[in-house]
Amino acid sequence: MTRSARLRVVAALAALLFCAAPAMPDTPAKKPNIVILLADDWGFTDVGAFGGEMATPNIDALAARGVRFSNFHVAGSCAPTRAMLQTGVINHRAGLGNMPETIPPAHVGQPGYETHLTDHVVTIADQLRAAGYRTYLTGKWHLGHTPATLPTAHGYDHAFALSQSGADNFEEKPNLLLYDKADWSEDGKPAHLPRPYYSSTFIVDKMMRYIDAGQASGKPFLASVNFLANHIPVQAPDADIAAYAGRYAAGWTALREQRRAAAIAKGIMPAGVRMGTMKSTGDWNALSAEDKTQRVGAMAAYGAMATAMDREIGRLVAHLKATGAYDNTIFVFLSDNGAEAIDPMHSGAFTRWNANQHYDQSIAQQGRPGSLTAIGAGFASAAVAPLRGYKFSASEGGLRVPLIIAWPGNPAISGGRVAGSFTHVTDIVPTLLALAGVPGQQGRFNGRAVAPMIGYSLAPLLTATATQAHPADAPLGYELSGNAALFKGDYKLVENLPPYGNGRWHLYDITTDPGETIDLSAAQPARFATMRADYDAFARDNHVLPMPPGYSAPQQIMDNALHELLIPRLLALWPWAAALVGAIAGLVWWRRRSRRMARARG
């Protein structure tokens, strides 16, 4: 089907949805509000409605009123996903071929590797604002830090945004292993956080203020709510942490099995789904009692942070109900990538020493103010169960995340269903524009050429008028930090560089084998060859650069942080060092002079 034909189908489906819309309490023809709820580093089965044991009742309630997507894919790390979520354009076309934290120096500034949203793309906010929407963003942005690259330069009327990958959740403090300050801004200008502060609470508070301030205009709104939970540092209120005390004492292997069974029971995974073992997780039973206590406490903080975020979502939903906006609001919940496996306390002697210098890393302090808590590879593997891999990798555990779309007041969208066909983050913008009845950009916006959206509307899946959105013969390529994939129908071609893989291509049927346990590359050589050619075409068309020899994303993070932080800190110490050297030299000179004078007198 041609792109123009697809757009005609999308328009027809949007019209069908609006014809079927219920009589609203106020204005039936009013365009829907849109709320995007973006979690950070949540694994595939972290949400209760996807098989998780963590308390997420408010997200689960949205799932019960909407559709769960069990085969939904994003990028392996945050900024590239956010670029695609905002624009509907593949990350290399949007300027996020890599993140500033993980980009090798040789790639910086190359086309597609600008590490911020470029002016070659337009956001969903640009398009909805042109159609009469109010547009707001709160929380993590991570798509630029200058006035020309912050949210208000990309279609948002108001935004309180963090330009970095993460920050402290209790105070205005950066991740001190990566940044020298927490770079928050409001409407493009430097901003400061209130006291007391907790990230999830503040992000929702600010969004509700924005929505309320513009309510008198009568215009619908787009609310992009971007949580820091559960990015490192994993932190939560004490009461939430206490509620998870001892919950994970059986370890990550038991939790993986538990989540696998629950995901099958909830219809998220096929019956009998196979689950591989990841060597990087380690053997729970081989840990010392002290190590087990530490890991159990870290995972308790992780569950607590998720529950705290869910509570704030519930508060936002309750507010929209109280103001009469709930029924005519489309809710989209997703995570930006799979669970984070990197743990600073297990990432080499220097990183561990550095973490101990800046934070209280005692076991009792985990998840509390002043700590830098992370769950590590073991519990990250459980957070993505029954999938393989985690954040940064191109395996399903890095790319497949929960997606929920709900429009409570629209009877055309029946609640509680599971859509199991392949979907992608670039589908979100076309879907929301279609549901809002707003024609999407087709390569031009406000008279200028822009990169066209590549996604498909998911409206047919929401209304159960179709079982798949992507044509079975349409390839979709992906690459980030040298880890790559090509999706086509039920199949996935994937390559992961060390430490996430062996640097060779593998072929999986991710519909029947989402755990990526049976490599089909030898059994289906023709399909393997065709998909390899498809990937090569994708890489060529999108100017994907080869990674330098020996590259790995975790090591590049540390290298870039050293360059960004250590050298400036050493330079800042230079005057003191020079003064100290001068003082020492003066003392040596004085002592030698004193000795000469003493000898002369004697």
Task: Give the single-character DSSP code of 32.
Answer: P
* Inter-axis angle of helices 3-19 and 428-436, nearest 10: 50
Task: Give the single-character DSSP code of 400.
Answer: B
Check if the beta carbon of residue 51 is closer than 8 Å to that of residue 265.
yes
d(CA 507, CA 485) in angstroms, rounded, equals 10
Task: Tell which residue, 148, 150, 178, 181, has the closest CA to residue 163.
Answer: 150
User: What DSSP assignment string belongs to 79-118?
Assistant: HHHHHHHHHSS-HHHHT-SS-TTT--GGGTTSTT-SSS--
d(CA 341, CA 76) in angstroms, rounded, equals 12
Tokens of 554: 């975790």
- Looking at 78, 154, 158, 231, which residue is catalytic? 78
71 three-state secondary structure:
coil
In 234-361, where does DSSP find H-type helix? 238-243, 252-265, 289-322, 349-358
525, containing H or E segment: helix 525-541
Residues contacting 463, CB < 8 A, separation 6+ = 13, 16, 17, 412, 413
HEC profile for 338-349? CCCCCCHHHCCH
Assess whether 19 carries a catalytic annotation.
no
d(CA 216, CA 485) in angstroms, rounded, equals 47
HEC profile for 117-179? CCCCCCCHHHHHHHCCCEEEEEEECCCCCCCCCCHHHCCCCEEEEECCCCECCCCCCECCCCC
- Looking at 92, 142, 424, 470, which residue is catalytic? 142
Q: In this structure, how many other beta carbons lie within 10 angstroms of the beta carbon of residue 372?
A: 24
d(CA 331, CA 404) in angstroms, rounded, equals 8
Question: Left if phi > 0, otherwise alpha if psi is -120 to 50, otherwise beta: which for 97?
Answer: alpha
With 0-12 / 13-18 / 19 or more C-beta atoms within 10 angstroms meaning exposed / middle / buried, residue 14 is: buried
With 0-12 / 13-18 / 19 or more C-beta atoms within 10 angstroms meaning exposed / middle / buried, residue 531 is: buried
User: What DSSP assignment string belongs to 289-311?
Assistant: HHHHHHHHHHHHHHHHHHHHHHH
**Residue reference for tokens 């200008």:** 189
User: What is the set of active-site residues?
Assistant: 78, 142
